[in-house]
Structure 1
Amino acid sequence: MWPEALTPYRRTTEFTAATIPAGLLRAHATKPGTWARLHVLSGLLMFRDLETGRDHLIGPGIHPLIRPEARHEVAPQGAVRFFVEFCALPQPAPKAPGV
């Protein structure tokens, strides 16, 4: 389940089967504190959760939960267009000195 307070802060350009970066095709993970959401615009993308060992076939409207530092990889299933959205929880404001 997504934490309700997650806020998007960056997204990639759109990728296709021909332009997907090699790093996404092999095991990788997000940074500490960074969640990710895959947005498939057309076609199908296989999402492999290497933490659970489960494969998920992702199409438009399906957004797998990618937790911080969780190892995963993707594989295009033919023609596909998608992008990745990165999210984080809001950081508390620093306390003023002397408070």
Structure 2
Amino acid sequence: MKRPDWPVDAVPYRRTPEFDETTVPKGLLRAHSTRDKTWARLHVLDGRLIFRDLIDGAELVLEPGIHPLIHPQRLHEVAILGSVRFFVEFCVRPGDSPPRT
């Protein structure tokens, strides 16, 4: 499956709190996806973690400054590599309503 291009007009509407290796929600460590029309960026602030795209099998080691683009409804997961601090930023395109949480 070809990934759609990241929309240049996507804007942030919400972000998670900062997580670390002890506070990361268990749901992020197993297969999950964003909602329809919801894009996301993962921001590593300190340390490293692994990002896995479960559709194409791609695996990236993330460090500060590397922000994978998470496409709507695409299965993925993360794995912790020691001490880490990160958050997730959710984006939506103009005209698409942010999902209710």
Q: How does 1:1-99 map to 2 (within 5 A)?
A: 1-91=5-95
SS of 1:48 mapped into structure 2:
strand
Alignment root-mean-square deviation, CA: 1.0
What is the rounded CA distance, in whole Å, between the counterparts of 1:45 and 1:35 in structure 2?
20
Deviation at 1:80, TM superposition (A): 0.2
Structure 2 letter corresponding to 1:62: I
SS of 2:36 mapped into structure 1:
coil
What is the rounded CA distance, in whole Å, between the counterparts of 2:77 and 2:13 in structure 1?
21
Deviation at 1:2, TM superposition (A): 2.1
Gap runs ≥5 in structure 2: 97-101
What is the rounded CA distance, in whole Å, between the counterparts of 1:30 and 1:38 in structure 2?
12
When normalised by structure 2's length, the TM-score is 0.88
What is the rounded CA distance, in whole Å, between the counterparts of 2:64 and 2:46 in structure 1?
6
